[in-house]
Amino acid sequence: MQTSLSLSIPSSSSIVARSNHAMEFTSVSTASKPLNLRFCGLRREVLSFTSDSRRVRLPSHGVPARVIAALSGNGSGAKSFDYDLVIIGAGVGGHGAALHAVEKGLKTAIIEGDVMGGTCVNRGCVPSKALLAVSGRMRELQNEHHLKSFGIQVAAADYDRQAVADHANNLASKIRNNLTNSLKALGVDILTGFGTILGPQKVKYGKDNVVTAKDIIIATGSVPFVPKGVEVDGKTVITSDHALKLESVPDWIAIVGSGYIGLEFSDVYTALGSEVTFIEALDQLMPGFDPEISKLAQRVLINPRKIDYYTGVFATKITPAKDGKPVTIELTDAKTKEPKDTLEVDAALIATGRAPYTQGLGLENINVVTQRGFVPVDERMQVIDANGKLVPHLYCIGDANGKMMLAHAASAQGISVVEQVTGRDHILNHLSIPAACFTHPEISMVGLTEPQAREKAQKEGFEISIAKTSFKANTKALAENEGEGLAKETKSLDSSVVRDYIWERPDNGEILGVHIFGLHAADLIHEASNAIAMGTPIQDIKFAVHAHPTLSEVLDELYKAAKIGHLTGIPKVPTFEVLQPQDPTIGLLGSGGAFVAHLGSKPFSACPLPPVHGSRHPTHQS
């Protein structure tokens, strides 16, 4: 299904009122090619409109040369270098950086020594979601009570293992081809071979091919981490790489680790008929999640299913099945280090996290020493050498730097780096990056957990307020008979307000974290993550209107439940002010709280946003 988004304006200049302020729209002449502007979080060509529909096109004379280069293909490159930018690694991070680099008019090459798409597309996010889609359907069809409540009767559900595996493989192949074709269409040079840094601004790929670049980005990703004492044979003792091929569905499988990877695979295996045993080194399951969300998730995702678990133990030795003998797992107490038990299972999945893939990069040639395999970087992703100095023109993004091991975080870091190398200072707020676990139901989160928020509040001298709401009162969730779930929000109360005027007037309302467990939680979290990214206080976002009946009303109720002091009405919109951007094609968030996209030198309003309050929320650039 194709989707589109358009912005139509009258043929003559007109005034559009916002509160008691106004903005003028000026007619713009047409041009032959659209500009892919990045505003309101969109990357579609939302301005690719024709004059017949009275919609906006960019005049070519108002677009900087580097943007016109991006529209016509890869840039020309710096005179003294083969490329403006070379990216080592063609995963999601490298791909996102390459797309943005071409958009900025940079001559770009991407080096890949394995397959296009990296871990996410081939051995991670993409094929796992295909398997989880199957597990979701199976759960629906197997839940006779749930179906009866709708008046639906079905025969016993079954599945074809090979067809399920083919679905995951075909999806990965399709996305991989789409990714490759998108790079080729933009003129990005794809260089095949393992990339090695020979020295400043110089990279070797393949056997003896050498290229130079003004700037280099390392985006080599990660591989499954396998602890010592674990023997992986790829058949009965496997990592997520092997599990995604679904070559078998064991009757009993032990999953070592109960984080995102382990939880998602437990969802798949139990839906397909396996019994699961979790082995977790820490004292509780799902240790990386907010504690309250973890408890609720355990009640829904673990306890009712064919899952048992050991906590506070290490799997110190795992031996694959051989000669008719099962997989053996020796468990050791995590605190006393004393032997505790031995398990015999049909298979074991090692889901103990991931390790950076940075060996062989030639980092020693530029005096860079990794830290536990991760490439050290600063807040702008610039690589730091062994002496603590920044390495000029060298950046590292994604799993290889260890800041946040998520595919979309890697892409965001790559885009941020491209902003840096094209002259626009940009620092990515990692606390605004959401995460999700695609179980049934889903778990999502952004920002701090409650313990982290309390620790931050104690150190910085402010109090926090916690709001909670349930899916049980949501009409859409009840219509789906999916009322199980919780949304939780943590926000700050400015210390001076708390001390003197608690509940008497609006405080700064900074959102510190939002955690959701329930139907489509992974989709719902983005409203909260965008609010954190833009510095939108709870006083403003609580007045946002949500369609009824939708699941988004869970967040609406959450915002309204937040204790922010006594409000008598909608906050007054400040005077609108357009800040002068460094790049005339990119808008800035002015003090009036509206996003402005500039066509040449003439601004027009697009996507009004709440005003930014307080020194904690500096004016944002788009």
Active site residues: 548
Quick one: the chain helix, strand, coil %, rounded to 5?
30, 25, 45
> DSSP strand E in 126-268: where?
189-192, 195-199, 202-205, 209-218, 222-224, 237-239, 252-256
C-alpha to C-alpha distance for 295 and 390, rounded to whole angstroms: 43
Instruction: Enumerate the β-bridge partners of residue 239.
Output: 350
| Sheet order of strands, 463-470 included | 435-437, 442-447, 511-518, 486-493, 463-470
CA nearest to 449, candidates 292, 290, 294: 290
**Given CA atoms 36, 37, 41, 46 in this order, what sign does their dihedral have?**
negative
C-alpha to C-alpha distance for 268 and 131, rounded to whole angstroms: 7
Read off the amino acid at residue 104: K
Q: Are 278 and 266 spatial neighbours (Cβ–Cβ below 8 Å)?
A: yes
Residue in this structure with the two tokens 């940079």, named with its chain if needed: 106
Q: Give Cα 443 distance to the centre of its chain.
A: 13
Q: Are 113 and 193 spatial neighbours (Cβ–Cβ below 8 Å)?
A: yes
Task: Give the Cβ contact number of residue 43 at 10 Å.
Answer: 14
Q: Give Cα 101 distance to the centre of its chain.
A: 20
DSSP string, 17-40: EETTEEEEE------SS-----BT
Q: Are 225 and 239 spatial neighbours (Cβ–Cβ below 8 Å)?
A: no
C-alpha to C-alpha distance for 490 and 192, rounded to whole angstroms: 47
Burial of 588 (0-12, 13-18, 19+ CB in 10 A): buried
Read off the amino acid at residue 236: T
Residue 409 contacts by C-beta under 8 Å, 6 or more apart in sequence?
A: 398, 403, 430, 433
Give the dihedral of Cα atoms 113, 82, 207, 200; nearest 10 deg.
-90
C-alpha to C-alpha distance for 288 and 271, rounded to whole angstroms: 24
Q: Give Cα 286 distance to the centre of its chain.
A: 19
